[in-house]
Structure 1
Amino acid sequence: MGKFIFTVQGEGRGHLTQAISLSQIAQEAGHEIVGYAVGSTQNRKIPSFFTEFIGDKPLIQYESPSICYGNGKAVQVGKTALQAFTKFKTYWNSASELAKFIEEYTPDGIINFYESITGLHQWRTGAKIPCLSIGHQYLLLNRHFESIPEKKIDQFFLNLNTQITSIGSKKKLGLSFLPLENDLARNIEVVPPLLRKEVKDLKAYSGQRWLAYLTHFRLAEDIMAWSEKNPDVQLDCFWDHPTHKDIFIHSDNLTFHPINAEKYLEKMAQCTGLISTAGFESIAEVMFLGKPAMMVPVPNHIEQMINAFDASRAGAGIAANSFDLQIFKAYQEQHVTDYTHYQDWIQESAKLMDFHLRDLIEPKPHRKNSWKSFLTKRIHIAWPKNNGRLSMPKV
């Protein structure tokens, strides 16, 4: 059994919820999480759902690179990339804070949830402590992964940033909606999405209301406009608004809720479908509950564009360029996808992650090969061949 420190990118909820999920898996397997380090933009508060989960475990927060938005909707690619140069001294100091934290709690290994400062720390120290980097972004580096054909320059910068986060990492695990062949030449292995125990324990049923989750409050403008023209559709929307800290009733059919993990999961279990910017975690959760999703990538957000493309191929739902919910209304009438195989894939998470945690700190090639052989056989039995993915129905 090992002792680990988790380093987590604190922008949005995706990586934080993945850290919670892996914490649950690790602790059930007998491992210990001795501390958490969260990188975020200046003065960004760590969400309460995360701090409440970790309780009195040691926690530090420091400044790290983040996505820059123009008017709150579109990603500014150039400004985002420029941070590495204009704020390098700040990030160097953050790496020093992380180093002191790691020295104090002496973990056997570091588990990095796409946190850039971790790569800088590993480069500074010569990767003395074994590190595992995990996230959907590492799947994009897998040569077997099929991405979108456009925006090659944006994809280059995304992949460059992904490489930076994983500097000094002994392992890179790519979270994937469906099984895909490993790319061992690039040290990338494929694992299922990490879902919290609370999600797996939910009993889903189809209610009457749609659910929306927004990564930025300004994205709500389009939903407000559509709901006013379609009063027959009932909507619940979760957002992080700077002034509306409580429930905000926009109209009889549209209610906004502050981010609350427990309430969000409750609404997800009851909804008829999810409207969301194309964050990996939300899509993975709603697929597990067997509900369709409408995925609207944040403008110029290359990662979300790829997520929406990949998830639609996996049967999650439909990708769209705007919050024209009429598209989703029509799509729900014809959406048919069997999520059984996906749910079976999710159930492999605990065994796979326990293996990777053990292998990170106690490499045993002969044991690794036997595990791989066992898991490969199971996947080949359960999944038809199509470049390692399921054939999905056309919609």
Structure 2
Amino acid sequence: MKIFYAVQATGNGHISRAMELLPHLSNYGEVAVFLSGSNSSLDSALPVLLRSKGLSLFYNQSGALDLKQIAKNLSPVAIYKTAKNLPVEKYDLVINDFEAICALSCRIKNKASVHFGHQASFTSGQVPRPENKNKVGEFILKNFARSSLNIGLHFQAYDDFILPPVIKSEIWTAVPEAGDYICVYLPSYSDQETYKYLQQIAGQKFEVFSKEIKVVEQRGNCTFIPVHKERFNQSLIHCAGIITNAGFETPAEAMYLNKKLLVIPIGGQYEQKCNAAAMQHLGPTVVDKISPGFCKQIINWLQQPAPRYNKSFYLPAAAIVDQMMQQVTAKLLH
């Protein structure tokens, strides 16, 4: 079987998941990877066949989506041209992980495809939403990578087509410890903004992963570290807790390791507000945004007891791929 796997490269979560799934997906056939987007800070070890700038997301220093920068880098003509030239019709199975160009190409060429990933779960009305739904956000989640079949990933089995989060093998086999530092990964905030608050919490060490630097820097109680997959994994495994955005992969791995978790949804990113709504019922602490009271919120969070999350839903990556392919065979390739 020839498999076309389109991966959204805006942010690190999609790439990290693809790197974990690819060896298992390759057991089902020859996989060609299409990487779309230009705003990831993680070096990809994927065997990329095709690449495109795609639709990249940018953030301002306060963590909100920078719509002007997004619009400035958007080229509808180039996107349509890329979609038209994408060779999806030459493959037996087309999988996309929230990748709009591949989805558009399949619609142009009347080619069946699978939307497989976290965002695919939001086609279900059973998945948690914030109290105030956002119509534009709902439309984007359901239509950005619209496909013939949706197979979602989420924290819980909110619907019958939703599978567990993909946990990296290094995390899955790890023996976690509670060190004396807090791991921090807030890529939507500048180092300056993050440090402004963390430096005020005397006596607490922080390891802050940054996309702004190339070498490790020590600033007061904060060690700033360039984004690096293995280094981040080790920091997460051995930290006392983690502060991060309300994404999907990192919070899922933190809960798998039973780490104290404080999440901050990215301003203007509806999916993260949905994730935060889900996590409010699972144990993590949710903070709406970094504000003057952020230091006190961190201190209160640090004083809370260590959590014990329900991990009965989790599966190894190989089993997730097997269950995904079972759904594909039953619903698409029959």
Same fold (TM over 0.5): yes
Q: 1:334 to 1:112 in 2, by over 3 A?
A: same
Q: 2:64 aligns with which of 50, 74, 83?
A: 74
Give yes or no for the alignment of 1:326 onto 2:304: no
Q: Which residue of 1 aligns with 2:182?
A: 210
Q: Which residue of 2 aligns with 1:120?
A: 104
Give yes or no for the alignment of 1:166 onto 2:145: yes
Q: 1:363 aligns with which of 321, 330, 333?
A: 330
**What does 1:1-395 correspond to in 2, within 5 Å?**
2-27=1-26, 30-41=27-38, 44=39, 47-48=42-43, 50-51=44-45, 54=46, 57-71=47-61, 73-76=63-66, 87-99=75-87, 102=88, 106-127=90-111, 130-150=112-132, 152=133, 155-167=134-146, 169-182=147-160, 189-216=161-188, 218=190, 220-241=191-212, 244-251=213-220, 253-322=221-290, 324-339=294-309, 341-342=310-311, 344-347=312-315, 350-360=318-328, 362-363=329-330
Kindly provide the amino acid, as one letter, of the partner of residue 326 in structure 1: K
SS at match of 2:199: helix
| Alpha-carbon contact 2:7-2:18 (below 8 Å) kept | yes
CA distance in 2, matches of 1:115, 1:233: 40
Q: 1:135 to 1:83 in 2, by over 3 A?
A: farther
- Aligned residue pairs total 331
CA distance in 2, matches of 1:38, 1:58: 7
Summarize deviations over 1:154-191 as a string: whole Å, max 9, x none. Answer: x3222322333333x23212211112233xxxxxx111
When the two chains are superposed, the root-mean-square deviation of aligned CA atoms in Å is 2.6
Q: CA deviation at 1:296?
A: 1.2
CA distance in 1, matches of 2:185, 2:211: 10
| Alpha-carbon contact 2:122-2:142 (below 8 Å) kept | no
Which stretch has the larger CA shift, 65-74 or 255-264?
A: 65-74
Summarize deviations over 1:284-338 as a string: whole Å, max 9, x none. Answer: 1111111011111222222222212212212233334216143133223224532
Q: CA deviation at 1:348?
A: 6.5
Q: Report the TM-score, using the length of structure 2 for normalisation.
A: 0.89
Q: Report the TM-score, using the length of structure 1 for normalisation.
A: 0.76
Kindly provide the amino acid, as one letter, of the partner of residue 231 in structure 2: K
Q: 1:318 to 1:125 in 2, by over 3 A?
A: same
Percent identity between the two aligned chains: 20
SS at match of 2:286: strand
| Alpha-carbon contact 1:203-1:269 (below 8 Å) kept | yes
Q: CA deviation at 1:196?
A: 1.6
Unaligned runs of 5+ in 2: none
Q: CA deviation at 1:246?
A: 1.1
CA distance in 1, matches of 2:173, 2:243: 22
Unaligned runs of 5+ in 1: 183-188, 369-395
Kindly provide the amino acid, as one letter, of the partner of residue 167 in structure 2: L
Kindly provide the amino acid, as one letter, of the partner of residue 214 in structure 2: K
Q: CA deviation at 1:201?
A: 1.5
| Alpha-carbon contact 1:318-1:331 (below 8 Å) kept | no
